[in-house]
Amino acid sequence: MTAGMDCSEVAHAAEFSLVARRNNSLSTTGRFLVFAFLFVVSVGIASAFAALGAWMVLPFAGLEMLVLYLAFRTVDRHAADYERVAIDGDRVEVERHEAGRTQRFEFNRCWARVIASGDGGRLALRSHGRELEIGHYMNDAQRLDLARALKRRLG
């Protein structure tokens, strides 16, 4: 859905580690408040009409709130998405967190190769015919930086 640019190179236990996060301009609290506001307005209006006898507004307001809830939940589930690339010893680790699930990919440092397009539009790691695209939440310049950093460290 969206891409972020909160990239930080962290020097911790691993030799190299970089986390890129999705861009969110609205906090979880903000999302909750917006939803609560829209819910109160919409259901309030519908209930007032129901009290006046026009109850058929209510199911439509409910349906709409359901769609709105699903939309906001989808956004919320993806709010914490991140991608972490780390080099530790002879392993290259890619950790991808998406919609609450975390996937881990491992490459052998000696075999992994960096595939990068010249404009930074695409960046991937390849090993044994397996290719994994990385740099989802980065812009072109950041991808190029990452490509350089990885190339330096990988065979």
Q: In Å, how far are 16, 47, 57, 149 from 52, measured between CA atoms? A: 65, 9, 11, 67
Q: Which residue of 8, 12, 53, 128 would you call a contact of another protein, by CB under 8 A?
A: 53
By the rule CB under 8 A, 54 interacts with another protein:
yes
Contact between 49 and another protein by CB under 8 A: the answer reads yes
What distance lies between CA 153 and its chain's CA centroid?
A: 26
Q: Among 74, 84, 63, 78, which Cα is nearest to 20's?
A: 84
Tell me, rounded to whole angstroms, the distance of Cα 89 from its chain centroid. 27
C-alpha–C-alpha distance, residues 153 and 128, integer Å: 19
**Within 81-140, which residues bind another protein (CB under 8 A)?**
117, 119, 121-122, 133, 137-140
Instruction: Work out which of 9, 32, 36, 41 binds another protein, going by CB under 8 A.
Output: 41
Footprint of another protein on this chain (CB under 8 A)? 1-5, 23-26, 30-31, 34, 38, 41-42, 45-46, 49, 52-54, 56-61, 63-64, 67-68, 71-72, 74-75, 117, 119, 121-122, 133, 137-140, 142
